[in-house]
Amino acid sequence: MGVRNTILNIEGLKVHFDTLDGTSRVLDGVELSVREGEVVGLVGETGCGKSITAKTILRSLPVPPGRIIEGEILFLGDNLLELSREEGHQVMSKKMSYIPQDPMTSLNPVFSVGEEMGDLIRWHGRRRLGPLELMGLRRKHDNSIAKAVELLDRVKIPAPREIIRRYPVELSGGMRQRVLIAMALIGYSSLLIADEPTTALDVTIQKGILELIEEKVKEEELSVLYITHNLGVARRLCDRIYVMYAGTIAETAKTQDLLDNPKHPYTSGLISSIPKLTGDEFKGIDGRIPDYIDPPSGCRFHPRCPEVMEICEQEKPELVKVGGGRLVACHLFSTGGES
Amino acid sequence: MFGRYLAKRLPYMMLVLFGISLLIFFLARVMPGDPARLALGPEATQEQVQALRHRLGLDQPLYTQYYVFVKGLLKGELGMSLVTKRDVSKDLIQRLPATLELVAVAMTIAILGGIPLGMLSALHKDRTIDQLSRVFAFAGVSFPRFWIGIMFQIGIAYTLGLLPITGRISGDPPAHMTGLYLLDSVLTRDLAAFMDSFKHMVLPAVTLSLSPLAQITRLIRASMIEELRKDYTIVSRTIGMPENLNIYKYMLKNAFTATLTVIGLLVGWLIGNAFIVEQVFSWPGMARYGVNSVLRNDFNAVVGVTLVIGVGYVFINFIVDLLYGYLDPRIRLKK
Amino acid sequence: MEQVLRRKEKGNLARAFYRFKKNPLSLIGLGIILTMVLIAIFAPFIAPYPGDAGGAVHFKEMFQSPSWKHSFGTDEVGRDVLSRIIFGSRISLTLGIVVLSVAVGVGIPLGLFAGYFGGKVETVIMRITDIFLSIPPLVLALVVTAVLERNLQNSMFAIAFTWWPWYARLAYGQTLSKKEEDFVEVSESLGASRLYIIFGEILPNMTSPLLVKITLDMGYAILAGAALGFLGLGAQPPTPEWGTLVSLGRIHLPKMWWLSTFSGLAIFVTVLGFNLLGDGLRDFFDVEVD
């Protein structure tokens, strides 16, 4: 496929939350990149900071209590964190798109599907509307409804002409998620961020939505950052996977390499916790995600790590290249660990 | 859908109206205190009191009295005023528009002022404008209405001479159409009467509107802040909805719908407080008539005023409910 | 684990204080109310002319504007306005306490019964509540005063008569949501009496919204009492009730501005105090009441 441009590159992103009990150091130097046409998975246990990472990219991190300490998010050449609120919003809303986690709460309950989609199609990417446009008095003579129908058709919604008149309350969770995917396609131009788009759905419906996303990703050659706690889902969709643990990237590699030959002990643990992938009995990893207010010293994984060494308690491992485009943050592979 | 809603709602409304008639009848006839004695004063002889009791039907059994009372109501008869010696219903029809106009203008001020002020506070949460609106809100609900009205009269009307102190109009009222001076003067293109009644309207309406204005401001603020955190707000902003469209259309409709639940209550509040404001500004409305009837022990008039208000209030709440169902499909489409 | 738990407990308390601190106005409210209560209790010692509280007459000193001798001026028969306002605090606070005691005493048990027993009890109680609420409170209070003699006690009764349904509604809503909770089921299975469950288990679990509502309502009840006084339907002269004082002073406007201004200001400050404190308590307990 040749060398492709990097569209998103995150370097050393640190995000803290101020709580009454103290500062919660959630993201502790996240490194991540997405190239054009690439589907990248961000995988980790619930609470590892995946969604915070997505929220920070999408500028919907609640500040306060959240605080961006340092790092940069380069998106198509702009450092999103240095842009003003308005500029950033402009870049983001024009070029990024988003599929949310919970379809039940992600559609405005008092507007019909067609109303909201129509406005998105009509005004997409405009930061502000003039007063007449705002009052709906000046609507471009457009084919936004026809387009909405077409989009709903593309996400395999039966009877789309009927659905655009419906309100969210009349639609099932799966239907709503399809509508949201259709909406995301309106806004899509460079990067799609999907934040666990199937977790809130019934298992039977999950499959259909996943197939739909898989199909759309291939058909439309989307660049995607797909966030999930499910390594199996990531395996189906992603070209490359980032494994995240407690606010840090543990490892990244091409999907097949990562699954065949995990380097980081945490990755191995994750893989062995999926019975389908190994055929073995469910093993899992002992312990749970650490406290972010008082995180473990050194490597945040060390209290749970089966191969813990002395250095792991003292020094935080850097992400280092281990060949084949792979990066691992573990003292087993860093020069310090080997010596 | 409307028919079904009405069918569900109507029996309940009838029950409430029946209840109101019973409650007022109870207050009128069963409570200690003798309307005839009160009306005639302590100097009247026992015979005079008996005569009036007989004339008012107070010497009949209670159920007969209630029957006569309700039969009269259904025919629109509220009996004779002991003070004006006219039909209470005629007195009320004459005075109702003044009160309606006052309450309507006050409600309009409260809504049209409260929504932008609440939005401004929410969008600038914890900044100066929000703090100011907070202080205003506390003051607005804590002012005694009669006192702030008097302060306006002293400061704005008397000292500065900007507006009339009392009354509804100084010159000739506009030709009678609806009885609402502002509306009538617009309909008849009577600019002088419009300006005249407008000037008279300002102070009473503002006095009456302060507390609802403060409450609507706080409610809109609270619900807008909640809207800002809602998933759907974040999603639509993220996928490219213009920022002001998101705020003024998508968030505001939700926030307003949430506020609608208390609009009915606020109307009740406005009607109650119109009794005070009309008294302060000598506003020739139904509420002032009601107060004077109470003061003069004109019992039929008191009952009439209360009934009209009770029925009107039930009706307004019904309209608010309809509007709520119209604005929020979750209510409309459930079951 | 134990450590985590302890931190959480500390967290809850810290959170509550954080919410209270976020709202320094509530401390001002508390200050106002405490001051008013002290003034009411020690009125005879604080008032410069305690004799002026009642029907005293000093024609030589009538209509004096505020001065060192009479900081709020004197009224139409020469009484010291400040002294009368100081004694007025006793009336307003008493009115608030009496009205709310009656409203809470009647409304809360009715709401508890309606919510706990359901069925016919619920239908009857809540329909009656609805009917009371379908007439604006101040209007209903006016009707009640119309059939009674005009005095302070009757105006308290009239206001309480319109106030109880709000408490019935509050208790009813709270009971419905608490009824299904574990502690009620446990007591039921242990064979506790219904009255004990209602008053010993459910009632104590609604103290925070109740406390917030009572605080806010103290202000509104005082306001309603003053309104009746102003309309001439409450306390009668020479009782130094604040609303009555505003109404009497109004006759001499605009020249004798001090008569109405200061008594109205006293109402405003007191009501404001209860509102500020109520709002702070609402943040503190993190409850919503309408």
CATH number of the domain that residue C131 is part of: 1.10.3720.10
Tell which of C127, C132, C133, C138 to mutate to test the B interface (max B CBs under 10 Å).
C138
Q: Is the pLDDT of residue A36 over 60?
A: yes
Is B126 in the A-facing interface, judged by CB distances under 8 Å?
no
d(CA B107, CA B196): 21
Is the confidence at residue A126, as pLDDT, over 50?
A: yes
- Residue C65 within any structural domain of the chain: no
pLDDT bin (cut points 50, 70, 90) of residue A1 is very low
Please give the pLDDT value at position C262.
Answer: 94
pLDDT band at B198; cut points 50, 70, 90: very high
Does position B331 have pLDDT exceeding 70, yes or no?
A: yes
pLDDT for res C5: 39
Question: For residue B32, what pLDDT is reported?
Answer: 57
| Burial bucket for residue C80 (CB in 10 Å: 0-12, 13-18, 19+) | buried
Range with lowest mean pLDDT among A2-6, B91-95, B151-155, C272-276: A2-6
pLDDT band of residue C73 (cuts 50, 70, 90) is confident
What residue in B sits closest to A188 (Cα-Cα)? B239
Cα–Cα–Cα angle for B127, B130, B131, rounded to 5 degrees: 85
C7 CB neighbours in chain A (<8 A) are 21
pTM of the model: 0.86
Decide if pLDDT at A287 tops 70: no
The model's pLDDT over A48-71, given as tens digits with 9 standing for 90+, comes to: 888 888 888 888 887 778 888 888
Gyration radius of chain C's alpha carbons? 23
| Assigned domain for C51 exists | no
C2 pLDDT exceeds 90?
A: no
Is residue C110 situated within a structural domain?
yes
C265 inside 8 A of chain B by CB: yes
Average pLDDT over residues B128-156: 93
Taking 80 as the threshold, does the pLDDT of residue A226 lie above it? yes
Nearest residue on chain C to B279, alpha-carbon basis: C231
Q: pLDDT band at C121, cuts 50/70/90? A: very high
Between CA B256 and CA B246 the distance in angstroms is: 14
Q: Which of B242, B327, B330 sits opposite A128 (nearest CB)?
A: B242
At which residue do the structure tokens 């100066």 appear? Answer: B128
Q: If we measure between CA atoms, which residue out of C133, C289, C166, C156 comes closest to residue C228?
A: C156
Mutate to test the interface with B, among C133, C215, C220, C231 (most CBs of B within 10 A): C231
User: Rounded to whole angstroms, how far apart are CA atoms B195 and B60?
Assistant: 53
- Tens digit of each residue's pLDDT (9 = 90 or more) over A71-80: 888 888 888 8
Please give, rounded to a whole number of angstroms, the shortest distance from the CA of C11 to a CA of chain A: 7
Q: Model confidence at C7, in pLDDT bands (50, 70, 90)?
A: very low
Residue B35 pLDDT class (50, 70, 90 cuts): low
Q: Spell out which residues of chain C touch residue B308, defining contact as CB-CB under 8 Å.
A: none
pLDDT of residue B280: 95
Q: What does the pLDDT read at residue C3?
A: 39
- From residue B174, alpha-carbon distances to B105, B190, B197, B252 in Å are 18, 7, 9, 38
The answer to whether B249 contacts chain A (CB < 8 Å) is yes
pLDDT tens digit sequence for C90-120: 999 999 999 999 999 999 999 999 999 989 9
User: Do A237 and A41 contact (CB within 8 A), yes or no?
Assistant: yes
Average pLDDT (C130-158) is 90
Judged by a CB distance cut-off of 8 A, whether residue B329 touches chain A is: yes
B232 and A106 in contact (C-beta within 8 Å)?
Answer: yes
Tell me which of B226 and A215 has the higher pLDDT: B226
The arithmetic mean of pLDDT across residues C123-149, rounded, is: 90
* Per-residue pLDDT, A339: 34
Nearest CA in chain C to A291: C4
CA dihedral (B183, B189, B190, B195) positive or negative:
positive
Q: What is the mean pLDDT of residues B22-40?
A: 73
Q: pLDDT band for C125, please (50, 70, 90 cuts).
A: very high
Give partners of A (≥3 CB pairs < 8 A): B, C
How confident is the model at residue C60, as a pLDDT?
A: 85
At C273, which helix (H) or strand (E)? helix C257-285
CA gap A337, A308 in Å, rounded = 11
Domain that holds residue C89: 76-285
Whole-angstrom distance, CA of residue A208 vs CA of residue A198: 9
Q: Amino acid letter at A241?
A: I
Residue from B142, B215, B266, B299 whose CB has the most chain C CBs within 10 Å, to mutate: B142
B142: which chain C residues are within 8 Å (Cβ-Cβ)?
A: 219, 223, 268, 271-272, 275
- The residue in chain A having the minimum alpha-carbon distance to the alpha carbon of residue C6 is A21
Please report all neighbours of C, defined by 3+ CB atom pairs within 8 A: A, B
Among A112, A123, A183, the residue with its CB nearest the CB of B245 is A123
Residue spans per domain, chain A: 6-108+188-288, 111-166
Residue C144 forms contact with B (CB below 8 Å): yes
Task: Please compute the mean of the pLDDT values over residues A184-191 and round it to a whole number.
Answer: 81
- Encode pLDDT of C171-217 as tens digits: 999 998 888 777 787 887 888 888 888 898 889 989 999 999 999 99
- CB C7 to CB A21 under 8 A? yes
* pLDDT level of residue C12 (50, 70, 90 thresholds): low
| Share of residues in chain A with pLDDT > 70 (%) | 91
pLDDT reported for residue C108: 96
Are the beta carbons of B153 and B169 closer than 8 angstroms? no
**pLDDT band with cut points at 50, 70 and 90 for residue A3:** low
Quote the pLDDT of residue B150: 94
Looking at mean pLDDT, say which of A246-255, B24-33, C31-40 comes out highest. Answer: C31-40
B-chain residues within 8 Å CB-CB of A186?
A: 239-240
**Nearest-angstrom CA–CA distance, B233 and B228:** 6
> Cβ–Cβ of B294/C142 closer than 8 Å?
yes
Give me the CATH topology for the region A6-108+188-288. Rossmann fold (3.40.50)
Residues forming CATH 1.10.3720.10 domain(s) in chain B: 96-286
pLDDT at A139: 65
Write the class of the CATH domain B96-286: mainly alpha
Residue of chain A minimizing CA distance to C15: A20
When divided into structural domains, chain C yields a total of 1
Taking residues C239-252, report their average pLDDT. Answer: 91
C37 belongs to a structural domain: no
**What is the spatial distance between Cα C12 and Cα C19, in angstroms, rounded to a whole number?**
11
Mean pLDDT estimate for chain A: 81
Instruction: For residue B16, list chain C residues with Cβ-Cβ distance below 8 A.
Output: 130-131, 134
Cis geometry, peptide bond prior to residue B212 (ω within 30 degrees of 0): no
**What pLDDT, on the 0 to 100 scale, is given for residue A337?**
42
Indicate if the pLDDT at residue A103 is higher than 50: yes
pLDDT band at C254, cuts 50/70/90?
A: confident
Q: Is the pLDDT of residue A167 over 50?
A: yes
- Residue A219's contacts (CB-CB under 8 Å, 6 or more residues apart) are none
Touching check for B230 and chain A: CB below 8 Å?
A: yes
Contact yes or no for C127 and B15 at CB 8 A: yes
Mean pLDDT of chain B: 88
Which of the pair, C103 or A191, is modelled with greater confidence?
Answer: C103
When mean pLDDT is compared over A233-247, A248-262, B223-237, B273-287, the highest value belongs to B273-287
